[in-house]
Amino acid sequence: MVKMSHTIRANGLLAAALLAALAAAVPVPVCADPPAAARPPYAGARSQRGAMYYARRYGVDQLQVRSTSSGESLQFRYRVVDPDKAAILGDKRAKPVLVDQKSGARLTVPTMEKIGELRQTSALQAGREYWMLFANPGRLVKPGQRVDIEVGAFRVSSLTVQ
């Protein structure tokens, strides 16, 4: 004759095994849009293919936008790979614009009276890093938001503000 405690123990083990099998069979829901911290700073930034596209098309890589001056300005940084292809970024006649994807706001590079535009416009050299500063009045664009950069024919989309 089987003792009652052995039957209860066997039933408990069977129930636990069934629950474990059921839990393993249930699909885990996948988030369609990963959190901003998990996204790359620009489309394809972490892939070799994305980096090669911007290097081949525009002669630049390591594209990033950072919030500076307590959020009152945004700094766009890039490294030049091919100075001939990246020449548009150093052209004084090309007016840079940063477009906030969320609000559609268009931010520009401010011009100081004695300094001029707050961006580097000297002859570009391969391997050097350059920057341009965009005014962010009222801290409209915040870290984590996505922006587009336009400078003449140069276009880059979906950079995440750091």
Q: What would the two tokens of residue 113 be?
A: 């009276």
> Starting at the edge strand that comes first in sequence, how are the strands of the sheet with 96-100 ordered?
106-108, 96-100, 146-151, 154-160
Q: Over the stretch 96-142, which tens digit does the pLDDT of each residue have?
A: 999 999 899 999 999 888 877 888 877 899 999 999 999 999 999 99
DSSP assignment letter at 131: E
- pLDDT value for 50: 72
Determine the Cα–Cα distance for residues 119 and 110; give it in Å rounded to an integer.
9
* Contact indicator for 78, 61 with CB cutoff of 8 Å: yes
> 33 pairs with which residues across the strands?
none
- pLDDT value for 120: 82
- pLDDT value for 147: 94
Selection from 64, 58, 57, 71 nearest residue 124 by Cα: 58
- pLDDT value for 81: 94
- pLDDT value for 16: 54
Q: What would the two tokens of residue 149 be?
A: 């950069």
- pLDDT value for 31: 44
Helix (H, G, I), strand (E, B) or coil at 62: strand
Determine the Cα–Cα distance for residues 113 and 26; give it in Å rounded to an integer.
65
pLDDT lower than 50: segments of the chain? 18-19, 22-45
* Contact indicator for 147, 141 with CB cutoff of 8 Å: yes
- pLDDT value for 85: 93
Beta strands in the chain (DSSP E): 60-68, 73-80, 96-100, 106-108, 111-112, 116-117, 129-135, 146-151, 154-160
